[in-house]
Amino acid sequence: MSRNEHDISAIQELTINAAAFDSIRHTLSLKKQAEVTDIAKSRATTMVQDLERKNFRIEDNDYTRRRHLIEWHRKYTFSLACLIFFFIGAPLGAIIRKGGLGLPVVISLLLFLFYYVIDNTNYKMARDGVISVWQGTWTSSAILALLGAFFSYKASNDSTILEVDTYIGVFKRLFGKRAVNTFERKELIIYETDYRKAFADANTLTQECRMYLQNCPFPPYFPFWDMQRLNDKLRQIVNIETSMVEELANSRNPKIILLLNQLPIIPLGRNAAPFRQKRWNKALGLAFPLGLAWYLQARYYDKRTRDDLQLASSVCTQLGQAITDMNLIN
């Protein structure tokens, strides 16, 4: 049979099949005919899309080459990923001290899912030619290596980055909850309290707090980035308070211990520019959105610091009065 005769017979067969389909279709109700037509259209559309996709891949000469290159790179990246996961898992075991087995397993699974999502996404993009092959295969390993280096560094410095108490403290400071003293009367006292020295420290601290409140107003925006002298003054106040507290913490008098617990813990550096070098502070001040955010935060903490200084001055006055009234100075 020649080719023309074969084509003619194929056309006749298709015509007969089409006629048979039409005759069967007309025997159905209108509702059924509509359903059959929709199903046929849907299947035809799916077949056309599948054929177009396969034809695109066949015509794309680089598709097979990219897949071969991806598999070649993966022989190295998968081996490297095993090593990197070791440098993530070992530091995690050293950093996470609470939670038993559950917390490390949960964090490990989250890290693996993170790696899997990045690796799978980049694999598809590299396979379809959206990004280069080396980018698609090595990106996940590079990100994982950075995490491994970070966790290893934190573990070597005995970090508490993955402890819940660390973040609880951060949120307390963020939402304005102050740290408080929790002194108790000691059962065994090795060194007796020098009330004369503590009385002098209390008077000095009262004077220093009042002088700071009067002579150190919070500066405007641009002078703010050169306020290291205010930090130095505040550091001197904190040193005097620490010396007085260390001395009075050995007291047997319950009233003294009660007043010590009312003393605020004054934070350092939160109402000042972040860097020690002036040029970095000025650079942050010129980066107006970031600089303004830091300035507003520092202004808020400066108000809190001033409230703490007023409270410290009042408590020190009461301490001095209590030491005098109870004749604790020999």
Which range in 22-31, 83-92, 212-221 is most confidently predicted, on average pLDDT?
212-221
Q: Given this model, what pLDDT does residue 210 score?
A: 92
**Judgement on whether residues 204 and 312 belong to the same structural domain of the protein:** yes
State if pTM tops 0.95: no
Q: Give me the pLDDT at residue 11, please.
A: 44
106 and 204 both lie in a single domain? no
- Residue 8 pLDDT > 50, yes or no? no
Task: With cut-offs at 50, 70 and 90, classify the pLDDT of residue 215.
Answer: confident
- Report the pLDDT value the prediction gives residue 230, as an integer from 0 to 100: 63
268 shares a domain with 157: no
Confirm whether 183 is domain-assigned. no
The mean pLDDT value of the chain amounts to 79
**pLDDT at residue 32, as a whole number:** 74
Average pLDDT over every residue of 282-286: 85
Is the per-residue pLDDT at 170 higher than 70? no
Q: What's the 3-state SS for the chain?
A: CCHHHHHHHHHHHHHHHHHHHHHHHHCCCHHHHHHHHHHHHHHHHHHHHHHHHHHHHHHCHHHHHHHHHHHHHHHHHHHHHHHHHHHHHHHHHHHCCCCCCHHHHHHHHHHHHHHHHHHHHHHHHHHCCCCCHHHHHHHHHHHHHHHHHHHHHHHHCCCCCCCHHHHHHHHHHHCCCCCECCCCCCCCCCCCCCHHHHHHHHHHHHHHHHHHHHHCCCCCHHHHCCCHHHHHHHHHHHHHHHHHHHHHCCCCCHHHHHHHHHCECCCCCCCCCCCCCHHHHHHHHHCHHHHHHHHHHHHHHHHHHHHHHHHHHHHHHHHHHHHHHCCCCC
> Would you say residue 253 has pLDDT above 80?
yes
Same domain membership, residue 316 and residue 273: yes
The answer to whether residue 319 sits within a structural domain is yes
Residue 174 inside a domain? The answer is no
Domain shared by 291 and 224, yes or no: yes
Residue 173 lies in a domain: no
Q: Are residues 269 and 317 in the same domain?
A: yes
Residues 48 and 80 in one domain: no
Q: Work out how many domains the chain is built from and give that number.
A: 3
Q: What pLDDT score was predicted for residue 205? A: 92
User: Tokens 């693996």, residue?
Assistant: 112
Domain containing residue 13: 3-59
* Domain-ending residue, one of 163, 186, 211: 163
